[in-house]
């Protein structure tokens, strides 16, 4: 199993500013992902955080808006840049350890409100 510490747990931010969310895992993991979840909605994959290289973004998400770092196998950050109220959402860090046929573990999530 993997224990994920994600912070901050929530924040209220002014539009036009940026917020960086941190994800710390208690063990080395192969795969790290960032999701967005609107309240009561499904999880939408933003990007795969690649260790030592640029993240792989899903359709509709771009690096300038959601820069991601992954300096090692236990840590990643997601920045939400130049925020607008439409960015208000829950952001979740997720990891899968070992081979792809493994379960995903999630951080507690960051509830972001942009005013």
Q: Which residue from 43, 51, 69, 88 is in contact with another protein, where contact means CB under 8 A?
A: 43
25 binds another protein (CB under 8 A): no
Phi-psi domain of 74 (left: phi exceeds 0; alpha: psi -120 through 50; beta: other): alpha
**Residue found under tokens 């999880």:** 43
CA distances (Å), origin 40, targets 12, 21, 90? 19, 21, 10
The conformation of residue 14, written as its DSSP 8-state character, comes to -
Which residue in 21, 25, 33, 83 binds another protein (CB under 8 A)?
33
Q: Report the nearest approach of another protein to the CB of residue 83 (Å).
A: 22
Q: Binding string, 54-93, against another protein, x = CB under 8 A?
A: --x--x--------------------------------x-
Question: How many residues in the shown chain lie near another protein by CB under 8 A?
Answer: 24
Interface segment toward another protein; rule CB under 8 A; list 12-20, 62-70, 79-87, 99-107 = 99-107
Closest CA to 64 of 80, 40, 42: 80
């Amino acid at each position: 199993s993997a224990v994920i510490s994600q912070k901050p747990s929530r924040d209220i931010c002014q539009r036009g500013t940026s917020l960086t969310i941190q994800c710390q895992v208690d063990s080395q993991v192969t795969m790290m992902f960032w999701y967005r979840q609107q309240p009561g909605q499904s999880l939408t994959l933003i990007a795969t955080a690649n260790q030592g290289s640029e993240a792989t973004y899903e359709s509709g998400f771009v690096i300038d808006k959601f820069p991601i770092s992954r300096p090692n196998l236990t840590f990643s950050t997601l920045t939400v840049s130049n925020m607008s109220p439409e960015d208000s959402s829950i952001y979740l860090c997720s990891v899968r350890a070992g081979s792809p046929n493994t379960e995903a573990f999630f951080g507690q999530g960051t509830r972001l409100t942009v005013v």
